[in-house]
Structures are given as C-alpha cells and as structure tokens.
C-alpha cells in the first residue's frame, strides 16, 4: 500500500492558542512553536491513523482481495477510484461505504478528502499535550505521557498497530 497525504486545512491550534497553553508571552520562539504545532498534530494523526484537519489522501493498493478500511479517515468524500487502470469514479457509491472500500483488483487507486468536521475535544487536547511535550523536550528524547497514549488508543484507526 502506498499512501500520499496532502494537508489542505489549517492547523487545529493557532500560534496564539499554543503560546497561551505553554504560558509563553515572548516572540523569540514563535517560529519554533509554529513548527511544533504541525509536528504535534502530525504525530497524533500518524499514531491514530486519522486526519485531524482536512487532507487529500491518495492510496494505491496492490492485489487487493478483500474489503478494506481506508486509512487516515474520517473520509468526507471519495473523489476518484481506479481499478486495474479503469476509472470507476462514476460508480463510487457501489464500492465505498462509510470508510470501507469493497473492490478487488491487482491495482486499486483511490483518492479522497478526509478530516473531522469537528475535532473530538479529547483528541484536540492530545495535540496540545504533545505540543507541550515537544516544547519542553527540545533537544532530548520525547516520552509520551501515559494519559496521552490512552486517549490516542481510543481514537486509533491505524491499520498497522
């Protein structure tokens, strides 16, 4: 499986919100904080296998034989579907149901938009928590707090855990 994910939405936490959460009132670390917001959101998305913010996801499956849950949901809309180099975009509703793709083929390519309409509060809190962990651990190894891992596990759709 080959996955290409392109972020199309805005980060779930603004720089101002991050600075308030981190209790920072100076501008010296603004660039770092902006980068850490993206890193924290990306870590949560990767762990859970979800798209917190709007993204376009393109997945290529080889030798797909069974129904499969699409990675990095929640899926908002499937925009294209190809099976063995034949376009099935007009017939998407026949093959796609609530996050699952039910099509078989040697080569299956699907493109869709994904992301939460409203980010669950506990999942958003984990992004804040990861931001703090990353900010406090600059230059050292990162230990993810157990309470963060517990929440991440509640939301995981990761096919690889």
Residues of the chain with CATH 1.10.3230: 11-50+117-155
- Spatial neighbors of 94 by CB under 8 A, at least 6 apart, are 88
- Spatial neighbors of 14 by CB under 8 A, at least 6 apart, are none
State the pLDDT at residue 89.
85
State the pLDDT at residue 161.
46
- Spatial neighbors of 108 by CB under 8 A, at least 6 apart, are 60, 61, 64, 81, 82, 83, 84, 101
What is the Cα–Cα distance from 35 to 44, expressed in whole angstroms?
A: 15
Q: How far is CA 80 from CA 21, 24, 75, 86, 99, in A?
A: 40, 45, 13, 11, 14
State the pLDDT at residue 120.
95
Stretches where the chain sits below pLDDT 70 are: 158-161
Fold for the domain defined by 11-50+117-155? Hypothetical protein yqbg (1.10.3230)
State the pLDDT at residue 128.
97
State the pLDDT at residue 159.
53
What is the Cα–Cα distance from 111 to 54, expressed in whole angstroms?
A: 13
Tokens for 39, please give them. 């890193």
**What HEC string does 51-68 produce?**
CCCCEEEEEEEEEECCCE
Q: Is 31 helix (H, G, I), strand (E, B) or coil?
A: helix
State the pLDDT at residue 158.
61
């Amino acid at each position: 499986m080959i996955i290409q994910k392109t972020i199309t939405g805005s980060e779930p936490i603004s720089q101002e919100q991050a600075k308030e959460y981190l209790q920072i009132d100076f501008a010296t670390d603004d660039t770092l904080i902006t980068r850490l917001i993206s890193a924290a959101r990306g870590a949560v998305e990767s762990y859970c296998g979800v798209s917190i913010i709007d993204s376009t996801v393109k997945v290529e499956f080889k030798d797909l034989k069974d129904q499969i849950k699409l990675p990095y949901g929640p899926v908002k809309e499937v925009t294209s579907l190809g099976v063995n180099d034949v376009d099935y975009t007009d017939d998407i509703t026949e093959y796609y149901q609530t996050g699952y793709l039910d099509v078989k083929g040697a080569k299956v390519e699907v493109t869709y938009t994904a992301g939460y309409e409203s980010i669950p509060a506990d999942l958003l809190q984990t992004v804040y928590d990861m931001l703090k962990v990353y900010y406090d651990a600059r230059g050292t190894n990162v230990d993810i707090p157990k309470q963060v891992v517990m929440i991440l596990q509640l939301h995981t759709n990761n096919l690889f855990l």
